A and B are shown apart, each in its own frame.
Chain A
């Protein structure tokens, strides 16, 4: 079983729509949860970061973590074509620096 599971997509939505990306994880030891965004032929870049359970909002992006259900979400409001990328759900431990990636969800925003 993968430690972080994501639906690989692809997911295609029209510009302006609200996008919901989700993943689940299996390891209760994870304390840090992140969303990285990766454009084609580029390296991942940190988009959102959450410690333990809770919500975090940054502009059009909202990240949610529910540790009781081991469920992680990313919401994108007023989606733009520039949001088209692969979104990687990532988890980390409190005792180590290495991070564990999901397989990523490919998102396409149609103009």
Chain B
């Protein structure tokens, strides 16, 4: 069984540019999560999809971030325009159930550097 995959693995962009990160969850997992870790800080929740619907987007930092999951399969996270403080590692995770405490399977992350 393939794990959670993320693309690209690393992205370097200039301030003001747009970047789109992609996440492919484990097949059959309806629940998809985005997290990020900025330098020196802990991994923080961004949002949670159940199929194509946003269940919880309380962690999204501002309206420069747009997450989509059309068709309930893969998801994209767009940052537009990127700012220096957006640099960090963006993780995607998926799970079969949305029950509290369920195991979330993480991808390897996308390392975003904004210069």
Contacts and interface: CB of A to CB of B under 8 A. Distances in A.
A31 B100 CA distance: 9
Interface in A75-103: 88, 92-103
Given A44-B106, A45-B106, A98 B101 contact: no
A75 to B, nearest CB: 21
A46 B33 contact: no
Most chain A beta-carbon neighbours within 10 Å: one of B33, B91, B100: B100
A98 B109 contact: no
Given A42-B108, A43-B106, A43-B108, A88 B43 contact: yes
B73 interface: no
B104 interface: yes
Interface residues of B, number: 29
B23 to A, nearest CB: 11
A88 B104 CA distance: 14
A110 interface: no
Given A43-B4, A44-B43, A98 B103 contact: no
A88 B37 CA distance: 13
A102 B95 CA distance: 21
A97 B91 contact: no
Given A32-B100, A43-B108, A98-B33, 13 more contacts: A31-B101, A34-B101, A36-B106, A44-B106, A46-B103, A92-B100, A92-B101, A97-B56, A97-B98, A97-B100, A98-B45, A98-B58, A103-B42
Interface of A: 2, 4, 31-32, 34, 36, 41-46, 49, 51, 88, 92-104
Interface of B: 4, 31, 33, 35, 41-45, 48, 55-56, 58-59, 91, 93, 95, 98-109
19 contacts: A43-B91, A43-B93, A44-B43, A44-B106, A45-B106, A46-B105, A49-B101, A49-B103, A88-B43, A93-B100, A96-B100, A97-B48, A97-B56, A97-B100, A99-B104, A101-B42, A101-B43, A103-B41, A104-B42
